[in-house]
Structure 1
Amino acid sequence: MVKLILWSFFLLPWISLIFLHKLDNEAIRRYMPVAFLATIINTILYQIAWTYDWWKYKETLFAWDKVAQVHTVYGVFLVGTIWIFYFTFGKFWLYFIVNFIVDCIYSFGFRALWKKLKITTAGGILSPFEGIIIMTFIAIILYGYHKWQEGLIDTDSKG
């Protein structure tokens, strides 16, 4: 049962991109760079979490993904970033609020579910509130990066 949940967190987001492609065939190409940056940042964050015992995964999809789990970092987080940017980019406050709500659902909902299903250890020193602060900070970085990527931030100093 646990493996089925983990596989669904990995595969269903990727399958959902079929629908996004039908809505806007350029959206995946447009938002993939920011999704890759989110993945890199999350991979580093998960390595820090492992080192400082913020949480540890007991159940993963593969033997080699104990530190940065495939089902979250390379599944729901990566694809979720694309969807959130698709619906909210260009409206910072909407982006911020949607991201905050999703972060709260993850921090208070899924982290509790992972502990109940014994996917993660019951311990860990990072509180849900601290997790939300970190994720909010990352969300702001991602938004700024994507504005730069889209050419909306002028870095030309010719004046």
Structure 2
Amino acid sequence: MRNIKLFMMLITILPWVSVPLLPAKVFKRFLPAVLFISFYVTAEGYLAEKKKWWWFPLSVKPNVIGELPLIFGPFFVGSLWILKYTFGKFKLYMLINLVVDAFFTYFTIDWFKKIGYVTLVRLTKFQLSLLFLVKSIALYGFQVVYEKYIYRDPAK
């Protein structure tokens, strides 16, 4: 793809177009968990870079991991929407995450490789799926703990 920088900018910005559709209460409720998992995934990205799990041929800037547009674009916003519709329904939450993660792993990764955005190196698609599963559980678990000990619903 010739305009990979434009592509990276679009995948970061376009998901944010849907955020105004989220009620402010929902955004505030799930923001801490989504920030937590986004920083977790960013740290994982630095580890993955060192371990050569995957490779992004170019980065946003030097010393900035190439997956940052994915993390703070579709991953961040998608996590907000998934939590909005599935929190409190763990089986549905896991089903939705499995479907979304499988689509990303088994279809989107191939397309990203084709356009020169990312390629898996020392990680299989199955191992990537397991990483996504761990992140899904961590996100949900964080939200459960947050709601139990910190969050106070203003409606109550």
Shift of 1:152: 7.4
1:148 partner letter: V
Contact 1:9 1:75 in 2 (8 A): yes
Please tell me the root mean square deviation across aligned C-alpha atoms, in Å: 1.8
Tell me which of 129, 133, 138 is aligned to 1:136. Answer: 133
Tell me the residue number matched to 2:70.
72
Deviation, 1:132, is 0.7
Identity %: 27
* Structure 1 residues 152 and 89: CA distance shift in structure 2, 3 A: farther
The aligned runs of 1:121-132 (5 Å cut-off) are: 121=119, 124-132=121-129
Note the 1:110-125 alignment, pairs <5 A.
110-121=108-119, 124-125=121-122
After superposition, residues 30-49 of structure 1 pair within 5 angstroms as 30-49=29-48
Q: Please point out which of 97, 100, 103 is paired with 2:98.
A: 100
* Secondary structure of residue in 1 paired with 2:30: helix
1:68-120 per-position Cα deviation (integer Å, ceiling 9, x unaligned): 53211111111111111001000000000001111111111221111100112
1:64 Cα deviation from its structure 2 partner:
4.1
Relative contact order (alpha carbons < 8 A, sep ≥ 6): 1 or 2 greater? 2
TM-score (norm: length of structure 2): 0.87
Q: Which residue of structure 2 lines up, in the alignment, with residue 146 of structure 1? A: 143
Post-superposition CA distance 1:16-43 (Å, at most 9, x none): 10112xxx22111111001101111101
Unaligned runs of 5+ in 2: 151-156
Retained in 1: the 8 A contact 2:106–2:125? yes
Structure 1 spans left out of the alignment, 5+ residues: 154-159
Aligned partners of 1:137, 1:84: CA distance in 2, in Å? 16
How many residues align? The count is 148
Residue in 2 that maps onto 1:4: 6
Secondary structure, in 3 states, of the residue corresponding to 1:59? Answer: coil
